[in-house]
Structure 1
Amino acid sequence: MKKTWITNYPPGVPAEIDATCYSSLVDIFNQSCQKFAPLTAYISMGKSLRYAQLASLSRNFAAWLQSRGIKPGTRIALMMPNLFQYPVCLFGALRAGCTVVNCNPLYTAHELEHQLNDSEAEVIVIVENFAATLQAALPKLNSLKTIIVTAIGDMLGLKGHVMNFMVRHVKHRVPKWSLPHPVQLTSILNGSGKLPFTPPTLGHNDIAFLQYTGGTTGVAKGAMLSHGNMVANVCQAYAWVKPYTAEGKDFIITALPLYHIFALTANCLTFLMLGARNLLILNPRDVPALVREIGKYPFTAITGVNTLFSALLNDENFINLDFGHLHFTLGGGMAVQRPVAERWKIVTGKPLSQAYGLTETSPAVTINPLDLSEFNGSIGLPLPSTELSIRDDNGREMVTGEIGEICVKGPQVMKGYWNNPEETQKIFDQDGFLHTGDMGYVDAEGFVYLVDRKKDIIIVSGFNVYPNEIEEVVASHPEVREVVAVGVDNGAAGEIVKVFVVRKSPSLTEKQLIDFCRQSLTAYKVPKLVEFRDELPKTNVGKILRRALKA
């Protein structure tokens, strides 16, 4: 497909990036920590961590790993929410040449067992709150040799000791656990300063992450993201946001968990290159606490998913915050609904820009220009050095405006799935394009529009109905807080549309909502069933689990 999108790139954004200027993510890390040494890298619960401290502590962790005989390429699992310990262990593991396996702290024992066995992880760093889960999975683990445990307040000084006491003995948030020979992370970080450390030689082909897919459509698979993949995507994202930022001056809100690929690449790595301050939010689901925390700082950027932005807009204290320093807001992970984006612009005075990507692409594929004055409904323009093709089920490339499957090729596309050549072969075609499973189209100016997941399309009397379209209409009702649309079996006629709704007021009725939809949707698209719920099931990132509701 001809790269018509390049003509609409923001000023200063190149058509191609050169990822060879960095040998690895560690190279980016070292240069940034040296350049921004005295500046604050992270803020967590009122405490700050400077770039120089981040470099020193991660070096200690890497040295300890080497002292234990941990070789480059060894898989190290991290099971932590947004705490100082996460970037310290992340960069320490990478500096030792290891491959990081990110684990969702809310995993069940079965899910954790699958991921640790599949990745053949030999080391895990885990917050004690989730140690009982590891204990339950332990009898079936084949490769795990070293268990490192930390507590939420371990890097917060005196305040942290008080917090650990409260979490353990007052709030009872740490279930009883027993693990063989656990090592305390604090003893590693504090006692390894004199250990020798020899940086291994790393290149673009070395695997930086085994980043597991959500597993919502089957067993989670480990995407092999090389240092080359990650460096390329960081350079692509850096080139895109650089015109709107100032080195050493930006302040980004990180409410999404860093173990998720969106926040990992965007917040943790890209803003590392910018020397930004990064505010770590431990629990974004506690919206009032989140609003109180971000209200303390002159933040310039925030990333999130549609449900997070919607929750913030429904908090009365959020709308009274000072948004004078805010440069841009970036939404991804799921479709941003137009009513949410339009209200965000009214409240903050700044547009909400939508981006698109997936685990297998490190993750960014497209981003909207950050200087757009209004929400345009698209997922943006393909990033520099990215090829994009819209194809039908037979592999034929569609023309401008035609809907087909979004297919991607570029330096950010994964090497394949870990130990899974069959699934790898399924997702790549003979031209080397990765098939995303997402349906969309490209307009005449090169903007890409996401229609829906291929597997989520609802077939009503032979017509394709896209859930995103239904959800956007329902979400525009002033009494709707959240919505998800699914197809329900209707016998020979195929399916009918059902919506699950979280309403703002109990006075909203099924009939009122259906009548509202009739004003904007053709008859076969109008929901036939409405189910009101107090909340909708979500991933830990906040993405609504549509397929769980359908099941």
Structure 2
Amino acid sequence: MPRLSRYQLDIPFKDVLSFCSETQSKIDQDKPIYIDCRNPTQSISSREAWKLVRTLIAGFRHAGLKAGDCVCIHTFNFIHYPILVQAIIGAGGVFVGTNPAYTPTELRHALETSLAKFIITEPELLQNIKQPAVALGIPGECIFLTNHGDTNVQSTMRPWRTLLEHGKEDWSQFDDEETSKTTNAMLLFSSGTTGLPKATQISHYNLVAQHILVHENPQHPERYPVSRIMSLPMFHAAAAPYTHLSSLRAGYPVFVMRRFELSFYLSSIERFGITSLMMVPPMVTAVIAYSSSGPDLRAQVRRHLQSVRSVIVGAAPLSKETQAKMQTLLPEQSPITQVWAMSETSCIASCTYWPEFEHTGSVGRFLPGIDAKVVDESGSEVPDGMRGELCVRGPTITRGYVNNPEARARDWDQDGYFHTGDIVYQDQSTELWYVVDRKKELIKVRGFQVSPAEIEAALVSHPLVQDVAVIGVDGGEDGELPRAYVIRKDNTLSESDLKVWSAERLAKYKWLTGGVKFVDQIPRNASGKILKNLLREQARTLGSHKL
């Protein structure tokens, strides 16, 4: 039987900005909500945020943005990033964020899939995105530059602040079920096993539901002042809902790091008295390793973390052993717990609510309103407590992907459940959920999802590659590493040749850090599907690092 949610929370059908605005009389309007970690004098209060949002809405509309138009932000983190996102949504547009590490090939796919009409980028990233933008017919006047990063790069593109020169306008408002559920606010790219990343449609309703279920559950009220340091990239599903919606509605201060730097991250937690951390496993292992690298460093790390009340880890599995090590660095009453989240679930779908400790390696329990079932390969439900593929439905679940009806038909069943590809089981005594494997073949590299098919497509385009299969191999606490099994046409082709080839076409986290193994054949079944389970078993048997 499906594990139906035992209780529901009311989710309003308002647009995102109307939802955020209704709490403003209850919070300190002059308290900063976005603060630059490097230079905390650079900050934006709630009052300033709303003024900027209205001004940027007018600017985007003056620039020609129409309802449903997509705006791509291709930058590292900065304090105006969430303001731009809120204004894009408020103007009736759709936000899409891209990874600053993307190559022109990857950016072309993102721009083409999202049908982006406008781009906001920074000088040092302009070269990579300008090439596909020109190829796709995005005019120069629709590309705006921030003044962050390397500002010595010369460009004729307009500064983003020219969008502030056209007065103020209110946001597009609605309060009905159909509009809230069918109007996109964001596109979050989710990797797939059968091709390039898919643009996941996140509606206004999805985002409002995500905030309410995580932060406004009356059975689990937040009992301490929440402040968070944001070092995760703001385009990522793990960061986007909290940064771009929750902080504006609830007045949570967000201390913004351009990108993650371990020592600065730790010192900033202490300096600003950060209470809530959202981490991915490589960040956790980096903190643990640093604390063990010198006689006085453990005490130093514990001092840095004294203000922390809660640590949440997501985006990839974390071993319970590593979780336990991190727990010893935290204050006694401050738990570290894991969540289960996907782009398709608008971020968090299961968690352990504070102040409960959970040390068995589970991902907690599902949020209110999230129904779950576990099925076998035929789609039939498995007995309670047995392993199978997790399927979910509920208010935070996307309705599908942009221009990809095939994936929609494949991944959703007739009862409205999204088939996640994760293999799970539920402990019947505690009702905790455990993720044990993946049916889908995504590789989790430092918190990012990597599609083997995307790497395979890049490698097979090499003139000396006959066939290729890519799997993830164990990279220790850093997660998985992409490894390629290659049939070459000519023995002159070397591992270094392929690594250079892939590096020119793929972002760094997709590089072949798990190595290249040249083989005479790649195992396939009768229909031609690569039997990657055999390759993974071989890698486990021989040891991930033995080629």
| Class of the TM-score when normalised by the shorter of the 2 chains | 0.7 to 0.9
State how far apart, in whole Å, the 2-side matches of 1:33 and 1:237 are.
Answer: 19
1:104 CA drift (Å): 1.4
1:415 CA drift (Å): 1.6
Give the structure, 1 or 2, with the largest relative contact order (CA under 8 Å, sep 6 or more): 2
1:2 CA drift (Å): 5.0
CA contact (8 A) 1:5 1:447 kept: no
2:253 aligned partner: 277
Task: Say which SS state the counterpart of residue 315 (structure 1) adopts.
Answer: helix
- 2:214 counterpart letter in structure 1: A
Question: Measured at CA, do residues 264 and 256 of structure 1 come closer, stay the same or move farther in structure 2, by a change above 3 Å?
Answer: same
2:240 aligned partner: 264
1:538 aligned partner: none
State how far apart, in whole Å, the 2-side matches of 1:374 and 1:412 are.
Answer: 24
CA contact (8 A) 1:252 1:300 kept: yes
CA contact (8 A) 2:275 2:308 kept: yes
2:411 aligned partner: 427
State how far apart, in whole Å, the 2-side matches of 1:408 and 1:449 are.
Answer: 15
Task: Say which SS state the counterpart of residue 344 (structure 1) adopts.
Answer: helix
CA contact (8 A) 2:21 2:249 kept: no
1:105 aligned partner: 100
1:30 CA drift (Å): 1.9
Task: Say which SS state the counterpart of residue 416 (structure 1) adopts.
Answer: coil
Q: Which moved more, 1:406-415 or 1:369-378?
A: 369-378
Pick from 184, 198, 201 the counterpart of residue 224 of structure 1. Answer: 201
- 1:222 counterpart letter in structure 2: A
Question: Measured at CA, do residues 92 and 483 of structure 1 come closer, stay the same or move farther in structure 2, by a change above 3 Å?
Answer: closer
1:427 CA drift (Å): 0.8
1:525 CA drift (Å): 9.9
1:336 CA drift (Å): 1.4
State how far apart, in whole Å, the 1-side matches of 2:303 and 2:406 are.
Answer: 51
Question: Measured at CA, do residues 526 and 207 of structure 1 come closer, stay the same or move farther in structure 2, by a change above 3 Å?
Answer: closer
Query: 1:345 and 2:327 equivalent?
Result: yes
1:198 CA drift (Å): 4.0
State how far apart, in whole Å, the 1-side matches of 2:99 and 2:219 are.
Answer: 31
* Structure 2, unaligned runs of 5 or more: 292-296, 444-470, 486-512, 515-536
After the TM superposition, which residues 34-433 of structure 1 pair with which residues of structure 2 at under 5 Å, given as runs?
34-36=25-27, 37-44=29-36, 45=38, 46=40, 47-143=42-138, 146-152=142-148, 167-168=150-151, 174=153, 178=155, 182-189=157-164, 191-192=165-166, 195-202=167-174, 203-204=179-180, 205-214=182-191, 218-240=195-217, 243=220, 245-246=222-223, 249-284=225-260, 286-316=261-291, 317=297, 319-349=301-331, 350-433=334-417
Task: Say which SS state the counterpart of residue 19 (structure 1) adopts.
Answer: coil
- 1:200 counterpart letter in structure 2: S
CA contact (8 A) 1:26 1:95 kept: yes
CA contact (8 A) 2:16 2:208 kept: yes
Deviations 1:256-308 (A, max 9, x none): 11111111123443344332111111120x21222232231111100011111
Question: Measured at CA, do residues 26 and 401 of structure 1 come closer, stay the same or move farther in structure 2, by a change above 3 Å?
Answer: same
1:531 aligned partner: 545
Question: Measured at CA, do residues 127 and 31 of structure 1 come closer, stay the same or move farther in structure 2, by a change above 3 Å?
Answer: farther
Question: Measured at CA, do residues 139 and 328 of structure 1 come closer, stay the same or move farther in structure 2, by a change above 3 Å?
Answer: same
State how far apart, in whole Å, the 2-side matches of 1:226 and 1:184 are.
Answer: 29
Question: Measured at CA, do residues 363 and 327 of structure 1 come closer, stay the same or move farther in structure 2, by a change above 3 Å?
Answer: same
State how far apart, in whole Å, the 2-side matches of 1:196 and 1:274 are.
Answer: 23
Deviations 1:329-362 (A, max 9, x none): 1111000121221011101133211001111111
Question: Measured at CA, do residues 184 and 232 of structure 1 come closer, stay the same or move farther in structure 2, by a change above 3 Å?
Answer: same
- 1:106 counterpart letter in structure 2: A
Question: Measured at CA, do residues 256 and 51 of structure 1 come closer, stay the same or move farther in structure 2, by a change above 3 Å?
Answer: same
State how far apart, in whole Å, the 2-side matches of 1:322 and 1:485 are.
Answer: 31
2:520 aligned partner: none
CA contact (8 A) 2:71 2:117 kept: yes
Task: Say which SS state the counterpart of residue 451 (structure 1) adopts.
Answer: strand
- 1:453 counterpart letter in structure 2: R
CA contact (8 A) 2:35 2:253 kept: yes
- 2:132 counterpart letter in structure 1: A
- 2:357 counterpart letter in structure 1: S
Deviations 1:50-84 (A, max 9, x none): 11111111111101112233222111111122101
State how far apart, in whole Å, the 2-side matches of 1:396 and 1:91 are.
Answer: 42
CA contact (8 A) 1:360 1:414 kept: yes
Task: Give the total of aligned pairs.
Answer: 455
Question: Measured at CA, do residues 54 and 135 of structure 1 come closer, stay the same or move farther in structure 2, by a change above 3 Å?
Answer: same
TM-score between the two structures when normalised by the length of structure 2: 0.76
CA contact (8 A) 2:270 2:306 kept: no
Task: Determine what percentage of the aligned residue pairs are the same residue.
Answer: 23
2:8 aligned partner: 16
1:158 aligned partner: none
* Structure 1, unaligned runs of 5 or more: 7-14, 153-163, 459-466, 476-480, 490-499, 502-522, 533-549
- 1:420 counterpart letter in structure 2: N
Deviations 1:155-177 (A, max 9, x none): xxxxxxxxx6xx445xxxx5x6x
1:512 aligned partner: none
2:435 aligned partner: 450
1:241 CA drift (Å): 9.2
CA contact (8 A) 1:254 1:279 kept: yes
- 1:345 counterpart letter in structure 2: Q
State how far apart, in whole Å, the 2-side matches of 1:457 and 1:70 are.
Answer: 35
- 2:432 counterpart letter in structure 1: F
State how far apart, in whole Å, the 1-side matches of 2:159 and 2:172 are.
Answer: 25
State how far apart, in whole Å, the 1-side matches of 2:262 and 2:309 are.
Answer: 22
- 2:19 counterpart letter in structure 1: I
Question: Measured at CA, do residues 267 and 168 of structure 1 come closer, stay the same or move farther in structure 2, by a change above 3 Å?
Answer: closer
State how far apart, in whole Å, the 1-side matches of 2:4 and 2:409 are.
Answer: 29
Task: Say which SS state the counterpart of residue 219 (structure 1) adopts.
Answer: coil
Task: Say which SS state the counterpart of residue 321 (structure 1) adopts.
Answer: helix
- 1:396 counterpart letter in structure 2: S
- 1:149 counterpart letter in structure 2: L
State how far apart, in whole Å, the 2-side matches of 1:184 and 1:168 are.
Answer: 11
Deviations 1:130-153 (A, max 9, x none): 11112222332145561111121x
Task: Say which SS state the counterpart of residue 295 (structure 1) adopts.
Answer: helix
CA contact (8 A) 1:241 1:370 kept: no
State how far apart, in whole Å, the 1-side matches of 2:314 and 2:410 are.
Answer: 25
CA contact (8 A) 1:355 1:367 kept: yes
